Chains A and B, each alone.
Chain A
Amino acid sequence: MHNVWLIARREYIERIRTRGFLITTLIIPLIMCGFIYGSAFVYSNSESAAHIAVVGSDTQLVLDLQAELQHRQQARHAQPRSTRQTSIAVDAIDAEPQNEQATRTLLDRELDSGVLDGVLWITPAVATAKDQPARPTFTFTPRSSEQDSLRGTLAAVLGTVLMREQLAHRGIAAADANTILQPVEIVAVRAPHRQDRESAEVSVTLLFFLMYMVISLYGMNVARSIIEEKTSRIFEVMLATIRPQEMMAGKILGVGSVGLTQVGIWLSAALLLSASTIAANLGGQGIHIALTLAQIVYFFVYFILGYAFYSSIAAALGAMTNSEHEIQQLNLFLVLPLFVCFITLKSVLTYPDSSMARVLALIPPFTPLLMYLRVSLGHPSRWEIFASIALTSACIYAIVWVTSRIYRVGVLMYGKRPTLPELLRWLKYS
């Protein structure tokens, strides 16, 4: 045990000290933050910049529309934690029947060039009876489907404007009309001890990718580290002192602890970030990192299982090959199961308790990633969690057993890559 500790410690210290570790530890969260905040920034900006033209002969209606939009915007500014901001700038254009066609072509061109995000045509109603005031007809042409959401906002605003007009028409004072038309605000309050589903999904997906990345990255590191030892021939000195099993265990532990350290740094940074005021200010727009303690604990449990599983396979690959180039060819064994998890991510995320998800999550190569999703988002029964951990552990034990035999013979072997029958024979050597 002491030897395992020595090997693991050396591996850990030597890896932590490298510039590469520092760079990946810093760069990856920076890229992630950049991505998250960048997309939040773009998101909020694109919404606020909507610019539309309103064409109508009823000048009063257009002016009222402008005023109402401005009024709403101000009300929203006073209240920073609102859900979605859409500020709409309105150009009023008088519709003169004689050059309607010219106006249309001009506006179409502006829509095409992106100067305008949408055009609203107001066609005055033809009054039928005095008491029954007819509404004008509205046509909205958005620049692209992205701006389609503007239609809803415009409809709401126009509704208010028309209602205000009707109220004024019926002799109700403007101040009273304002009171009547006060918009209703519903404040969303989360039920206690329940995360809101959307942000949970986002956070869990984020962690899924983190696990996926770290497992494949550090699994490869184990393989590479074994190859490096083969090339530098140091292992022969090592094997003259310690058992190959100890050496392999130390290596996997050491490299794994580096991965855990890195994930730990990232996770605490992420949690700090989500707790900080910057995140609060961004509110619902940014990606909300919301994790419960249980989710974090399960993340580490399944991370460790997944890492142990894949890195022992990687260790076997490393022991069988002599160069990084050869590892690339065998890399498939490592990447394929991870890839399956990747493909099923979407469906497990949406239906974490479907029978497909339940079956897949119990198959050891997929357990770490998929069971983690299920535990976080679905409701697996207790025996399923227990069975997944037990099955994967048993599988890891078997792999380590086989791997350490391959390792024992494989590290002393140099020359060509072993064939399958040779590999089977290696297993028989003690």
Chain B
Amino acid sequence: MSIVQLHHIRKVYDTKVAVEDLSFTIEPGTMFGLLGPNGSGKTSSIRMMIGITVPDSGSVSLFDRPFTRSALSRVGYLPEERGLYKKMNVLDQLIFLGQLHGLSASVASRRASLWCERLDIVEAIPKKTEDLSKGMQQKIQFIAALLHDPDLIVMDEPFSGLDPVNSFLLMSTLVDLCSIGKAVLFSTHRMDQVEKFCNSIALIHRGQLVLSGSMRQIKSNYPRNRVLIHYEGDDSFLRHPCIEHYKRYNGTVEIRLLPSATLDDDTQSLLAQAVAHARVTRFEVMEPTLEEIFIEKVQQALPIDNDHELSMAQLDQPNAGGLDA
């Protein structure tokens, strides 16, 4: 059984192709990361997945059935653009949104209180929404998406604007939900979050799928030719012959090994040399980061487009344009 199945969906807004031939599947109990820079089509895909817009071609299945609106009662959605009724009391608001998802007022009220306790915002319950801080409002909306105990939880950039404590609280809540068999899809352009929590990903760029599959599978396609060293003192070990390229930051160096380098011998001799000259606090041999894989994939997919050089700093720039595709 699969929770979500996108089958070659395509969406065009006027002349702009927002999503092109996108297919992926989400299984129950998966933490699914939908990745891509701003304007790559994440939100458009999500909107088609939950019936806010209809794909121009292709099909969407939820819970093994072609999309119908009745399936939406099993979906919890946190949009990227947060929104609540500002003038409404928090509890009334949660009850109202719960009722829209088919809960009775009393059940919605009870669950709302439980969730507020769990997310540590009991004091917000009697207040007006507009009197809450932005982070608190975000938590309220997070609760609103989960109140009806959905089987599919869709969160568009759920942690943007949250402090680390709250991000962690929400993330661990999602992990808990995942472990009891719910499917969680969240979109982000922050690769580090995905790398830590997701067990399955889809990478999209300019509306097209660049990479997808389980995290382990994707990573195993790449050799472990990255070395990360935290050190103090002399950096002469960076002249080691197996190093193809390195980037040095404050007390940290990221090394890419030559394709010819062997995992055991060369890395061990690199470590020995580093220890001989400097005080090493961390030494890790690993696969390329998702960020590097992503950049590589995008550049492969678009070889002609050279003046459009990709870097994550650039990808983080908000895209200008009327339509948030």
B residues within 8 A CB of A10?
85, 96
Interface residues of A in 214-269 (CB under 8 A from B): 229, 232-243
A242, B51: Cα distance in complex, Å: 10
Interface residues of B in 62-112 (CB under 8 A from A): 69, 72-73, 75, 77-79, 81-88, 96-97, 99-101
Interface string of A300-318 (1 = CB under 8 A from B): 0000000000000000000
Interface segment out of the listed A163-171, A280-288, A358-366, A412-420: A412-420
Contacts A14-B87, A235-B83: A240 and B96 contacting too (C-beta < 8 A)? Answer: no
In the A-B complex, list the 7 residue pairs whose CB atoms are closest, starting with the nearest. Answer: A415-B322, A233-B83, A234-B83, A233-B81, A236-B79, A240-B77, A232-B83
How far does the Cβ of B325 sit from chain A's closest Cβ, in whole Å?
Answer: 11
User: A237 is contacted by which of B47, B73, B77 (Cβ under 8 Å)?
Assistant: B77
15 A–B pairs (Cβ distance < 8 Å), ordered by A: A18-B87, A232-B83, A232-B85, A233-B79, A233-B83, A234-B85, A236-B81, A236-B83, A240-B51, A240-B75, A243-B69, A414-B322, A415-B322, A425-B14, A430-B54
Contacts A237-B144, A413-B323: A242 and B85 contacting too (C-beta < 8 A)? Answer: no
User: A412 is contacted by which of B50, B52, B73 (Cβ under 8 Å)?
Assistant: B52
Q: For residue A5, which residue of chain B has the nearest CB?
A: B99
Query: Does B296 have its Cβ within 8 Å of any Cβ on chain A?
Result: no
Contacts A414-B322, A415-B323, A430-B54: A6 and B96 contacting too (C-beta < 8 A)? Answer: yes
B residues within 8 A CB of A243?
69
Query: Does B319 have its Cβ within 8 Å of any Cβ on chain A?
Result: no
A241 and B84 contacting across the interface, CB-CB below 8 Å = no
A242, B96: Cα distance in complex, Å: 13
A232 and B72 contacting across the interface, CB-CB below 8 Å = no
Contacts A14-B87, A243-B69, A425-B14: A237 and B99 contacting too (C-beta < 8 A)? Answer: no
Query: Does A3 have its Cβ within 8 Å of any Cβ on chain B?
Result: yes
A347, B54: Cα distance in complex, Å: 52
A242 and B100 contacting across the interface, CB-CB below 8 Å = yes
Q: For residue A430, which residue of chain B has the nearest CB?
A: B54
A413, B321: Cα distance in complex, Å: 11
A residues within 8 A CB of B30?
none
A237, B82: Cα distance in complex, Å: 9
Contacts A6-B99, A14-B87: A237 and B141 contacting too (C-beta < 8 A)? Answer: yes
B323 and A241 contacting across the interface, CB-CB below 8 Å = no
A residues within 8 A CB of B323?
413, 415
A237 and B52 contacting across the interface, CB-CB below 8 Å = no
Contacts A14-B88, A241-B101: A412 and B53 contacting too (C-beta < 8 A)? Answer: yes
In the complex, how many residues of chain A place their beta carbon closer than 8 angstroms to a beta carbon of chain B? 26
Query: Does B324 have its Cβ within 8 Å of any Cβ on chain A?
Result: yes
How far does the Cβ of A331 sit from chain B's closest Cβ, in whole Å?
Answer: 23
A residues within 8 A CB of B73?
241
B residues within 8 A CB of A235?
83
B residues within 8 A CB of A415?
321-323
Contacts A14-B87, A237-B83: A413 and B322 contacting too (C-beta < 8 A)? Answer: yes
Q: For residue A15, which residue of chain B has the nearest CB?
A: B87
In the complex, how many residues of chain B place their beta carbon closer than 8 angstroms to a beta carbon of chain A? 34
Q: How many A-B contacts at CB < 8 Å in the complex?
A: 66
20 more contacts with CB within 8 A, not counting A237-B79, A241-B100, are A14-B85, A18-B87, A232-B84, A232-B86, A233-B82, A234-B84, A235-B83, A236-B79, A236-B81, A237-B77, A237-B97, A240-B51, A240-B72, A240-B77, A241-B77, A241-B101, A413-B323, A414-B322, A416-B322, A422-B14
User: B79 is contacted by which of A18, A240, A414 (Cβ under 8 Å)?
Assistant: A240
A3, B101: Cα distance in complex, Å: 9
Contacts A6-B100, A14-B88, A234-B84: A414 and B324 contacting too (C-beta < 8 A)? Answer: yes
A235, B52: Cα distance in complex, Å: 10
Q: For residue A239, which residue of chain B has the nearest CB?
A: B52
B residues within 8 A CB of A422?
14
B residues within 8 A CB of A239?
52
How far does the Cβ of A1 sit from chain B's closest Cβ, in whole Å?
Answer: 13
A240, B156: Cα distance in complex, Å: 13
A residues within 8 A CB of B87?
14, 18
B residues within 8 A CB of A238?
100
A12, B50: Cα distance in complex, Å: 28
Q: For residue B81, which residue of chain A has the nearest CB?
A: A233
A residues within 8 A CB of B50?
240
A10, B52: Cα distance in complex, Å: 22
How far does the Cβ of B109 sit from chain A's closest Cβ, in whole Å?
Answer: 15
How far does the Cβ of A18 sit from chain B's closest Cβ, in whole Å?
Answer: 8
Interface residues of B in 239-298 (CB under 8 A from A): none
A residues within 8 A CB of B79?
233, 236-237, 240
Interface residues of B in 292-322 (CB under 8 A from A): 321-322
How far does the Cβ of B194 sit from chain A's closest Cβ, in whole Å?
Answer: 23
Q: For residue B320, which residue of chain A has the nearest CB?
A: A415
A residues within 8 A CB of B141?
237
B residues within 8 A CB of A232?
83-86
B residues within 8 A CB of A233?
79, 81-83
B residues within 8 A CB of A413?
322-323
A243, B228: Cα distance in complex, Å: 51
A3, B321: Cα distance in complex, Å: 33
Q: For residue A235, which residue of chain B has the nearest CB?
A: B83
Q: For residue A11, which residue of chain B has the nearest CB?
A: B85
A274, B96: Cα distance in complex, Å: 42
Interface residues of A in 405-430 (CB under 8 A from B): 412-416, 422, 425, 430
How far does the Cβ of A321 sit from chain B's closest Cβ, in whole Å?
Answer: 14
A residues within 8 A CB of B144?
237
A414, B50: Cα distance in complex, Å: 20
B residues within 8 A CB of A414?
322, 324
A350, B86: Cα distance in complex, Å: 49
How far does the Cβ of B132 sit from chain A's closest Cβ, in whole Å?
Answer: 13
Central interface residue in B52, B54, B75, B144, by most chain A CB within 10 Å? B52
Q: For residue A17, which residue of chain B has the nearest CB?
A: B87
Q: For residue A232, which residue of chain B has the nearest CB?
A: B83
Interface string of B38-55 (1 = CB under 8 A from A): 000000000100111110
Interface residues of B in 1-51 (CB under 8 A from A): 14, 47, 50-51
Q: For residue B51, which residue of chain A has the nearest CB?
A: A240
Q: For residue A10, which residue of chain B has the nearest CB?
A: B96
A86, B273: Cα distance in complex, Å: 119
